[in-house]
Chains A and B, each alone.
Chain A
Amino acid sequence: MVELDHPFQTGKPIDENWEAILDLERLIPCVEGGSVIEKVDPEQVKAEIKIKMGAMSLKFKGTVAVVEQDAGEHRAVLRVKSKEAGGQGHANADVTFSLTDGGGTIHTAAQITGKAASMGEGVVTSVLDALIKDFTENLANI
């Protein structure tokens, strides 16, 4: 299990941020390589992410769902469950957003298995950290 914490800033009011992070169709494309395949219901989508690793690329397909939301506390948990396309690996994560005015924090608890995990936990942590940092920068433009 890899756990990471990232602050983020959008410069926008808390209610606007709250609406944005719960709109999975707007949120998921903020992850580089991420896209929504199908909206299952307002709180769940089928999605995929393609990660380019130099010459090779990895694709994970699965679901992203809002599994907890507390509008009063502006806290929501998104659960990512995915399987490596054409492989045996999985990438699962609980992503907790805690919002404040102008931004907030993201706590990620991820479990990666398969080809990506075989690079070692240090590498997985570095890549995940870079992916989430990139995501937080894109959040400002959501």
Chain B
Amino acid sequence: MSPVHALGPEKGRLTVHTRKGGAAAKAGHNLVIEVTSWRGTLDLGDDTTITLSADPRSMRVHEGSGGMTSLGDDDKANIEQTINDEVLKGTPIEFRSTACRLSPEGDRMHVSGELELAGRRAPVTFELSLSGGRLSGSATVKQTDFGMKPYSALFGTLKVLDEVEVAVEANLDGPQRQGG
């Protein structure tokens, strides 16, 4: 039997952080996008594994900063529509670890794995912190590694930068027992 922690929005948060670039970057915003529907597992058994799957149509713009004007509800809805129609197009988002290495103190974990995004799989590595019953960490995802063309507007002078940060934090309270 191994302690398997279920992860999800009830006791955690999965966010995507994008940054703007280009000659007209002033006209855009750095975004914090919350994934509102996702599921994951952290299995801290002999063979530690972590998995995560996210609903690509559950992205909600939480915050936009650095723009000339603040983002209204309509603007946020427009961005979400653009993500659905032009960026992710509803394709599955799945992560599965291939190797997890715990630090000797057991408070950090180096994770290597494979991410499926926009219909393509590519390797991703990141560090997680495990302390005080909480898991937190972030991974840098390069859109072009997945064959994605980073979104651009204003005739290419306003761009979302290729690298986006995906951050996760979750409470590990109440581990479930697998097979028990």
Contacts and interface: CB of A to CB of B under 8 A. Distances in A.
A53 B20 CA distance: 12
B72 to A, nearest CB: 9
Contacts of A52: 153-154
Given A118-B68, A122-B23, A127 B155 contact: yes
Contacts of B26: 119-120, 123
Given A119-B27, A123-B24, A56 B75 contact: yes
Nearest to B20: A54
Given A119-B26, A123-B27, A126-B23, A55 B78 contact: yes
A37 interface: no
Contacts of B27: 53-54, 56, 119, 123
B157 interface: yes
B69 interface: yes
Contacts of A123: 23-24, 26-27, 157
Interface residues of B, number: 22
- The contact size tier of chain A is 10 to 19
A133 interface: yes
Contacts of B23: 122-123, 126-127, 130
A43 interface: no
B28 A54 contact: yes
Interface string B142-158: 00000000000111111
A126 B155 CA distance: 9
Q: With a 10 A CB-CB cut-off, give which of A53, A131, A134 has the most chain B CB atoms.
A: A53
Nearest to A55: B75
17 contacts: A52-B153, A52-B154, A54-B27, A54-B28, A54-B29, A54-B153, A55-B29, A55-B82, A56-B27, A119-B68, A122-B23, A123-B23, A123-B27, A126-B24, A127-B154, A130-B155, A133-B155
